[in-house]
Amino acid sequence: MTDETTSRSPAVAPAGFARKYRGLSDRAVAWLFIGPSIFLLLAINIFPLIWTIRLSLTNYRANRTNADVDWVGLRNYERILTDPDIWNSMQATAHFLIWTLVLQVLIGFGLAYLINKKFKGNDLWTTIIVLPMMLSPAVVGNFWTFLYQPQIGLFNYVVAFLSGVDPSSFSMIGDVNLAPWAIVIVDTWMWTPFVMLICLAGLRSIPDSIYEAAECDRASRWRQFWTITVPMTLPFLMLAVLFRGIENFKMFDLVVQLTGGGPGSITELTSINLKREAFEKWRTGYASAYAVILFVTVFGLASIYVKALNKVKER
C-alpha cells in the first residue's frame, strides 16, 4: 500500500524513506484531509443543486407542504421561456451587465495605466480607491438611496451644482429612465477598483526590456501602447471581465437594496425576479426551473469565455 502510493508520487516522496513512515499512509492522509471539505460542498452545494433540478419538474409550493405534488415534466421551462416578464428581466440584466463592464473596463484600465506611472504616494491613493469594493453591497445599496434622494441627496446636489438643473427635479431611483443608470453608477463606483487592480497586475508584469527594445527600434509611444501595453494586459483584462461578468449576472444584494427592482420592474434583474417567484409568490417548482436556466446560462457563457481567454493567453 505504502509502496504503491509513493511510486505514484515520485516528486513528492522519494521511495527511499517510505518504509520509515509511522502512522497513516499518504493516501489515507490525503482523503482524511480532503474528505470533510468535499462532503460539506456536496451537502450544501451539489445536493441542493440536484434538488433544484428535481423540484423544477414539479408544481411544488414551499408554503403549502400538504398539497399534492405533481410531476409536470418540462412545462415550467416552457412557461419561463415564453414569459414576457422574464424576458424583461433578462433585458434589464443585459443592460446592467454590458454597461457596468464597459465603464469598469475603461475607467479601471485608465486608472491602472495612470497609477503605473509610479507617481509619489500612489500606494496610498490606490488603497483609498479600493475601499468601496470591500464593503457589504447591501449596506452600500441602502446608503446610496440616501445619496440619491431628490433635493437633500448629495448626488443630486453635486449634479445640480455642476449642471445647473434643479436638484429636486429628478429622482435617480424613482424615474423609469434614470433608475437603470442609477444601479450602473453605484456598481461602477464600487467595482471599478477591482478591474483596476487586475489591470495594474497586468501592467506590472510587462518587463521593462520590451519597451527598451521598442525604443531602440524607434517605435512611437502610441505604437508601443497598442502593440505592447494593450496586448500584454489583455489576458488580465479578460480575467477581470470574467469575474465581474459572473458576479453581475448573479447581482442581487446591491440592487435589491438600492431600487428593489423598481420603479415598476424596470431594474428587476433576474436574481431579484427569481427571489420574488420563489419567496414571495412561493412558486417553488417554477422558480427552481428558472434557477436552473440561470445557472446553465452563466455556466455556459463562462465556459465559452474561458476558452476564448485561453486562446488569448496562448498567443
Partner 1 sequence: MSFSVTEPSRLQKSVAGALVVIYALVTIMPLAWIIATGFKSPNDAIAYPPKVVFEPTLEGYVNLFTTRTRMSPDALEEIGQPETWYDKIVRQYDMVISGPSRYGERFLNSVIIGFGSTFLSVFLGTLAAYAFSRFKVPLKDDLMFFILSTRMMPPIAVAIPIFLMFRQLGLSDTHLGMILLYTAVNLSLSVWLLKGFIDEIPVEYEEAALIDGYTRFQAFYKVVLPQATTGIASTAIFCLIFAWNEYAFAVLLTSGTAQTAPPFIPTIIGVGKDWPAVAAGTTLFLVPVMVFTILLRKHLLRGITFGAVRK
Show the site string, 84-123: x = touches partner 1 by CB under 8 A, - = not.
Answer: ---------------------------x--xx-xxxxxxx
Residue 90 · residue 293 · CB < 8 Å: no
Show the site string, 39-78: x = touches partner 1 by CB under 8 A, - = not.
Answer: -xx-xxxxxxx-xx--x------x----------------
30 binds partner 1 (CB under 8 A): yes
Q: Which residues in 273-312 contact partner 1 (CB under 8 A)? A: 274-275, 278-279, 284, 287-288, 291-292, 294-295, 298-299, 302
Least distance CB 264 / partner 1 (angstroms) = 21
197 binds partner 1 (CB under 8 A): yes
Residue 159 · residue 167 · CB < 8 Å: yes
Burial 270-282 (b: 16+ CB within 10 A, else e): bbbbbbbbbeeee
144 binds partner 1 (CB under 8 A): yes
Least distance CB 94 / partner 1 (angstroms) = 16
Among the residue ranges 68-76, 94-102, 129-137, 170-178, the one whose residues contact partner 1 (CB under 8 A): 129-137
CA distances from 249 to 9, 154, 211, 294 (A): 41, 29, 38, 9
Least distance CB 266 / partner 1 (angstroms) = 20
Residue 277 · residue 283 · CB < 8 Å: yes
211 binds partner 1 (CB under 8 A): yes
176 binds partner 1 (CB under 8 A): no
How many residues touch partner 1 (CB under 8 A)?
A: 107
The x, y and z cell numbers of residue 138, run together, are 447591501
Least distance CB 62 / partner 1 (angstroms) = 6
The x, y and z cell numbers of residue 79, run together, are 412557461
Strand-pair partners of 172: none
Residue 66 · residue 151 · CB < 8 Å: no
What is the residue-wise DSSP string for 223-286?
A: HHIIIIIHHHHHHHHHHHHHHHHHHHHS--HHHHHHTTT-STTTT--HHHHHHHHHHTS--HHH
Least distance CB 272 / partner 1 (angstroms) = 9
